[in-house]
Copies of this chain bind each other. A is one copy, B any other.
């Protein structure tokens, strides 16, 4: 029988940027028996989670739920709006931006990678002026999309998406704006419609407090329009049948039912007016993030993010001093606080 190395206190102890600790309420909801995804009970569940997600993404347009983990949602965003050989502009904020760039290249897209030189690129958010300048130079409008990461899990930097939107507008460029907020959604302020994002990519195992396994594309009408003529092959990731079938609460193919149970519960928790809704969630993260940074500074350590304006409220990267081995530090933390009685 499957066992798990529970912490001696009888709780599982996981305190990393993701997967986040999954609340008991959600684990309990996920252990309800699997229902028929073609039956009437399911439609009610489908409509419920789609409505909740729209509130969380702050959009009036479709949100696609993939029964696949976050990497799939990256691919879906690219595959639905691009054609083989298309040119996209991506911005290097850290490890995850680099992985997305690598994927775009693998899919046959010409992925230009912009960024500050050297280590500075991984210590500051997206430099919107660099994007504006590059787009202005693209007088033929060969660039089809601008791709940025909102909250970089590898560095603890939350880029300013509004500034990127303004840069595109200032350049009077028709490129789509695509934003990965896998680790930012439901933890840091995010507004799909108001900020003019065309495709937002997110996943389940961070701010939504779920296990991994489902991921999302929030769309704009302009993105949907672009998907009608894009030529990259797609079936599982295709938006068209999803949008159509979702109208009645169903999915064109088998959904991830038990994770949707968890998602319904997570939406209830995040949006509950009696707890203050998303604003209270953001305020709490902001406050705790400030506390963590104060502690790091008091210990005499340096924060990875070099620009206070873009400190992530969700996670704080800490730079190890010269001569200190990061792996050794992690091992000490693990031994003292995870694997043994905190005596």
Q: Which residues of A contact B (CB under 8 A)?
A: 1-6, 8-12, 14, 16, 19, 21-37, 41, 66-72, 74-75, 79, 84, 103, 106-108, 203, 205, 209, 211-213, 232-236, 238, 253-259, 261, 264-265, 268-269, 272, 275-276, 280-281, 283-284, 287, 340-343
Query: Do residues A33 and B10 form an inter-chain contact, with CB atoms below 8 A?
Result: no
Say whether, besides A258-B30, A272-B8, A284 and B342 are in contact (CB < 8 Å). yes
Closest residue on chain B to residue A268 by CB atoms: B1
Judge whether B31 and A19 touch: CB under 8 Å. Answer: no
Which B residues are CB-close (under 8 A) to A19? 34-37, 254, 257
Q: Given A10-B209, A31-B31, A32-B12: A69 and B67 within 8 A (CB)?
A: yes
B25 touching A1, Cβ below 8 Å:
yes
Q: List 5 A-B contacts (CB under 8 A).
A: A5-B41, A11-B24, A103-B235, A106-B234, A211-B258
**Are B4 and A33 in touch, CB under 8 angstroms?**
yes
Contact in complex: B24, A24 (CB < 8 Å) = yes
> How far is it, in angstroms, between the C-alpha of A108 and the C-alpha of B24 when the chains are bound?
45
Q: Which of A2, A9, A25, A261 has the most CB of B within 10 A?
A: A2
Q: How far is the CB of A149 from chain B (nearest CB, A)?
A: 15
Shortest CB–CB separation between residue A173 and chain B, in angstroms?
A: 25
CB distance from A182 to the nearest CB of B (A): 9
Least CB separation from A103: chain B residue = B235
User: Do A69 and B255 contact each other (CB < 8 Å), given the known contacts A8-B275, A283-B343?
Assistant: yes
For A4, list chain B residues within 8 Å (CB).
32-33, 35, 41, 261
Which secondary structure dominates chain A's binding surface? loop
> For A343, what are the chain B residues with a Cβ–Cβ distance below 8 Å?
276, 280, 283-284, 287
A19 to B36, CA, bound (A): 6
**Given A12-B24, A67-B213, 15 more pairs with CB closer than 8 A:** A2-B265, A6-B23, A6-B25, A9-B23, A12-B32, A22-B33, A24-B33, A67-B68, A68-B236, A106-B238, A203-B254, A205-B254, A212-B254, A212-B256, A233-B233
CA distance A79 to B272 in the complex (A): 43
In the bound complex, residues from chain B placing their C-beta under 8 Å from that of A284 are: 341-343
Asked if B235 and A106 make an inter-chain contact with CB atoms under 8 angstroms apart, the answer reads yes
How far is it, in angstroms, between the C-alpha of A235 and the C-alpha of B2 when the chains are bound? 32
Residues of B within 8 A of A25 (CB): 1, 6, 10
Contact A256 B209 (CB under 8 A): no
In the complex, what distance in Å separates the CA atom of A250 from the CA atom of B16?
18
Instruction: Specify which chain B residues have a CB less than 8 angstroms from the CB of A232 in the assembled complex.
Output: 233
Name the B residues within 8 Å of A107 (CB-CB). Answer: 233-235
Partner of A22, one of B16, B34, B106: B34
Closest Cβ of chain B: how far from A55's Cβ, in Å? 17
Q: Which of B14, B71, B276 is in CB contact (< 8 Å) with A36?
A: B14
Closest Cβ–Cβ distance, residue A150 to chain B (whole Å): 18
Closest beta carbon of chain B to A297's beta carbon, Å: 23
Contact partner of A275 among B233, B236, B341, CB < 8 A? B341
What's the Cα separation between A106 and B84 when bound, in Å?
Answer: 15
Name the 7 nearest CB pairs between A and B, nearest first. Answer: A10-B23, A12-B33, A31-B31, A71-B253, A68-B68, A213-B256, A10-B25
